[in-house]
Amino acid sequence: MVTVLRIGHRIIRDKRITSHVVLVARAFGASRIIIAGEKDPSLISTVEKVIAEWGGFFELKMIPEDDWELFVKQWKKKDKFVIHLSMYGENLYDFEKSVSFKHLKNHSDELSKLLVIVGGKKVPGKVFQLADWNIAIGNQPHSEVSSLAVFLEHLMPDILQKMFEKAGKRIIPSVNGFKKFIKDDDES
């Protein structure tokens, strides 16, 4: 399963954006996120609450901001690889046509080797050098939240129908749009 690395987190400035990045990582099928930035207990409690309510396996780890580089270098030492998302690099639609992308898409067991990096407004230049692929989620400014979602959904195209195990409750999709829930107990 995919690991996401978010470089940069300031509690006051980034509280909500980072928490949306975390939620996107989980909802779009990553199993782990590393936050390199200010230690922020509220992110841990966000994740704990979401898992209790909506299920699934998901891990959040915080490391000091400067440790991102060591983390990435160690990751790459173990035959693993790194994709960095931003507005620079190869367009996602071109990358999708590559053998590498198709291989990843068709070998979900290899997704555990993948680290996806998203930054904030300013990413250290070294990230571009260390990444195996720099992928542009378009060449217009938008958001690390949307970049991560769009990339993961291209990689795992059924992800928005994924079932999360051991959910406290689950929404039943329904055309009329109203909120229908079942508890996992109801299914037995």
Tokens for 125, please give them. Answer: 């230049």
Return the number of the residue (66 or 90) whose C-beta is nearest a second copy: 90
List all residues 6 or more positions away from 77 whose beta carbon is below 8 Å from its beta carbon: none
DSSP state letter for 112 = G
Give least dist CB 152 to a second copy, A: 9
Tokens for 21, please give them. Answer: 């990045």
Q: Find residue 60's DSSP bridge partners.
A: 33
Find the part of the chain contacting a second copy (CB under 8 A) among 35-43, 65-73, 109-117, 146-154.
146-154
Residue by residue, DSSP assigns 30-89 as --EEEEESS--HHHHHHHHHHHHHH----EEEEE-GGGHHHHHHHHHHTT-EEEEEESSS
CA-to-CA distance for 16 and 68, rounded, in angstroms?
21
Residues in 118-137 that interact with a second copy by CB under 8 A: 128, 131, 133-134, 136-137
142 binds a second copy (CB under 8 A): yes
Return the number of the residue (17 or 34) whose C-beta is nearest a second copy: 17
Give least dist CB 171 to a second copy, A: 4
Q: Which residue has the tokens 């990358």?
A: 95
Q: Of 2, 7, 17, 72, which lies in the binding site for a second copy, with binding defined by CB under 8 A? A: 17
Give least dist CB 102 to a second copy, A: 17
Find the part of the chain contacting a second copy (CB under 8 A) among 2-10, 16-24, 62-70, 109-117.
16-24
Cα–Cα–Cα angle for 153, 155, 158, rounded to 5 degrees: 55
Q: Of 79, 122, 165, 176, which lies in the binding site for a second copy, with binding defined by CB under 8 A? A: 176
Residues that bind a second copy (CB under 8 A): 13-14, 16-17, 20, 23-24, 26-28, 50, 54, 84, 87-94, 128, 131, 133-134, 136-143, 145-146, 148-150, 153, 158-162, 164, 170-171, 173-179
